[in-house]
Amino acid sequence: MKIIMLGAPGAGKGTQAKMLAAKYDIPHISTGDIFRANIKNGTPLGEKAKEYMDKGLLVPDELVVDLVIDRFKNPDCEKGYILDGFPRTIPQAKALTEALEKIGEKVDFAINVEVPDENIIRRMSGRRACVGCGATYHIKYNPTKVENICDACGKELILRDDDKPETVEKRLNVYHEQTQPLIAYYTEQGILKEVDGTVDMNVVFDAIVDILGE
């Protein structure tokens, strides 16, 4: 079962990807993890990626796809995988489709976790992170016992720059411009499925499992 998770930043697709990976015993793959592993292990592809990253440049789509396809060769991908955060653009999606076709494979499902922008801004601006241990909370959905104090280590909680409403709006604008077109792309491929991401995460999970039908 080969799955691509789609959705705006803060829609909860990463959480769903982890839950699905655990249920189906398939790896949850992000390009960040692939980059780190290849760079740490000093692979030829990792060295190439590091050259771009050291210069502050984006890693070219062709190289990212090569790294992703290489990751699929690992034994843990025999039963499938869940791609989270890739592809991000139409060129990346097309390059991935072509690369998979060359090895006789294709993606089975593209799952879009649909959440309106205003919900995401409200969600993310309610997040709080501990300055000590890095634990994360939410003022509404996962509050601490003592306001603004970490349950785990007793240090102060902060609103990270990434979660400030103005930053979230910028990230959403980038998503709508670059990544949202993937919904139409995978609809044309006949593999897009949508779920309502505004409900409880366990309800979202059950809806995805119903779609996957296993």
Residue 120 and residue 11 in contact, taking contact as beta carbons nearer than 8 Å: yes
Burial 91-108 (b: 16+ CB within 10 A, else e): ebbebbbebbeeeeeebe
Percent of the chain with pLDDT over 90: 87
pTM of the model: 0.86
* Domains located in the chain, CATH noted: 2-27+74-116+169-212 (3.40.50.300)
SS (H, E, C) 171-186: HHHHHHHHHCHHHHHH
What is the residue type of 31? T
Burial of 154 (0-12, 13-18, 19+ CB in 10 A): exposed
**How far is Cα 133 from Cα 154, in angstroms, rounded to an integer?**
9
Residue 113 and residue 12 in contact, taking contact as beta carbons nearer than 8 Å: yes
What's the confidence (pLDDT) of residue 162? 87
Element at 137 (helix H, strand E): strand 136-138
Rounded to 5°, angle at Cα 84 from 191 and 28: 105
What is the residue type of 165? P
Q: Which long-range contacts (CB under 8 A, 24 or more apart) does 54-63 make?
A: 59/35, 61/89, 61/91, 61/92, 61/95, 62/95
What's the confidence (pLDDT) of residue 56? 86
Strands 127-130 and 136-138: antiparallel
Q: Each residue's pLDDT tens digit in the chain (214 positions)?
A: 999 999 999 899 989 999 999 999 999 998 888 988 999 999 999 999 999 988 888 889 999 999 999 999 999 999 999 999 899 999 999 999 999 999 999 999 999 999 999 999 999 999 999 999 999 999 988 999 999 999 999 999 999 998 999 999 999 999 999 999 999 999 999 999 999 999 999 999 999 999 998 6
Write out the catalytic residue numbers: 13, 88, 127, 160, 171
pLDDT per residue as tens digits for the range 33-70: 898 899 999 999 999 999 998 888 888 999 999 999 99
**How far is Cα 30 from Cα 163, in angstroms, rounded to an integer?**
21
**How far is Cα 209 from Cα 19, in angstroms, rounded to an integer?**
10
